[in-house]
Structure formats: structure tokens, C-alpha cells
Amino acid sequence: MTLSLQDVEKLAKLSRLHLSDDEKTQTLQELNGIFALVEKMREVDTDGVEPMAHPHEVALRLREDKVTETDHAAEYQAVAPEVRNRLYIVPQVIEE
């Protein structure tokens, strides 16, 4: 898949970007380079390859699942002007 200069202009317009002619040309080359790389990667035969979560065979060290900090919500919210159901209540600043 290759893009044209018109495609780049459309993408710039949708992204609300103002690009100079040089930037459009450079962006076109870079995007087409990315698409060429993706096409090259699609050509690789991956049948029988198991998906991996990590590229290296690493055993994760897991910590014990226990609470290590206390709940400070009441302490933090004590200075708030208004709190309801553990939520800070703020005045409405934008009218409907």
C-alpha cells in the first residue's frame, strides 16, 4: 500500500495540521516507508509460532498480594470544602 500526496493532505486536514510542501513530502516518504516495513513483516511466515508476552524467556518475580499502605482518604479529604461518598464536590463552572 502506498499513499499519495493527496492522502497526506487529507490526513493533515483531518488532524488539523498545517504542513508546508516540504513537510508534506517528508511525511509522505516516512509514511510510505512505514507501510513498506509492514508489508515486509506480513511476508514472514509465522505459522506455528507461539505468541509471546515478552521477547525473552523471563520468569516474573511476584510479590505477595497484601495491603502495604493504609487508607488516608479521610485525612486528605478533611480539608476539602465539600465531600460526598468519598468524592470531592466542586462547584459547577460551565453552564449547560
pLDDT digits (tens, 9 = 90+) for 52-87: 888 888 887 888 899 889 999 999 999 999 999 999
Place of cell 465531600: 83
pLDDT value at residue 24? 96
Domain ranges of the chain: 5-42
Please give the sequence-ordered ranges of beta strands (E in DSSP) within 1-96, or none if there are none: 83-84, 87-88
Which architecture does CATH list for 5-42? Orthogonal Bundle (1.10)
Whole-prediction pTM value? 0.52
Determine the average pLDDT of the residues in 10-28.
Answer: 95
What's the pLDDT band for 41 if we cut at 50, 70, 90? very high
